[in-house]
């Protein structure tokens, strides 16, 4: 149960930060026509997960519970794109190029196709 609470509380905080930062970017730059707020959140999430992942590997400072809260909860609530970026990077770092390419193609192409399919299905209901 404690693991669920750690992930859930981290997810709550991450989601709130995603909403606030994305909104701030749109207000501050006042640019329309492209999802700059979403891009900013994804970029920042990837930067943070890369830093924390590398720091954690180098110094072994995060407990399992801290990793649940930070990586799955907080950053997962902030942006799942950060997890996708880190997992793809890990494949590349470990020389698993086929897996990295497969992950990118699967995540991007099939997930975009799933959005399209869900959209099409919604028109029939």
Question: Is the confidence at residue 80, as pLDDT, over 90?
Answer: no
pLDDT at res. 11: 97
For residue 117 the two structure tokens come to 């399919």
Question: Is the confidence at residue 77, as pLDDT, over 90?
Answer: yes
Q: What is the mean pLDDT of residues 79-95?
A: 89
Contact of 91 with 103, CB cutoff 8 Å? yes
Q: What is the mean pLDDT of residues 30-38?
A: 81
pLDDT at res. 83: 80
Question: Is the confidence at residue 94, as pLDDT, over 90?
Answer: yes
């Amino acid at each position: 149960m404690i693991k669920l609470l750690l992930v859930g509380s981290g997810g709550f905080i991450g989601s709130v930060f995603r909403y606030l930062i994305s909104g701030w970017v749109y207000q501050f730059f006042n640019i329309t026509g492209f999802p700059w707020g979403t891009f900013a959140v994804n970029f920042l999430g990837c930067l943070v997960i890369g830093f924390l992942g590398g720091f954690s590997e180098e110094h072994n400072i995060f407990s399992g519970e801290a990793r649940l809260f930070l990586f799955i909860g907080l950053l997962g609530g902030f942006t799942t794109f950060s997890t996708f970026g880190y997992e793809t990077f890990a494949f590349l770092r470990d020389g698993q190029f086929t897996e990295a390419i497969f992950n990118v193609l699967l995540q991007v192409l099939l997930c975009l196709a799933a959005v399209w399919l869900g959209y099409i299905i919604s028109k029939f209901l």
